[in-house]
Structure 1
Amino acid sequence: MGMKDQFQDKPEQLAGKAKQAMGSAKDEASERAGKLKDRSKKSDQSKSSQQQRDVERLDMDYDQ
């Protein structure tokens, strides 16, 4: 096996590894973005419910 034979398939191997790494990175980025959206939704919901409770308290104060 000569030098040419040893490195002949190297570009294809490296390209395959690069594509695989890019796929993994995209999957991880998508997963992180999904988690961030979920956190944002939960935060918005808790803010909304807190605002609703504040409004109800104010209504109760005015009724008394």
Structure 2
Amino acid sequence: MLGNTFGRLFQITTCGESYGWHATAEQAGYGGGLLTIVNGVPPGIKLDVPLIQVELDKRRPGQSK
């Protein structure tokens, strides 16, 4: 996947590859990786990691009906 940047208030850049991706480091060995950088987040903003994970899980393969 080529690098992608989008957004105005928060600018999100993604890069990396999903080929060979595994859920844990032990399973991964040598393989792909994904990276997301979020610019424009004011200092002190708390991120709700469990909420973000719920949204990411919706994008997992096989979740569509």
TM-score by length of 1: 0.23
Higher Rg: 1
Structure with more helix by fraction: 1
Q: Point out the structure with the larger strand share.
A: 2
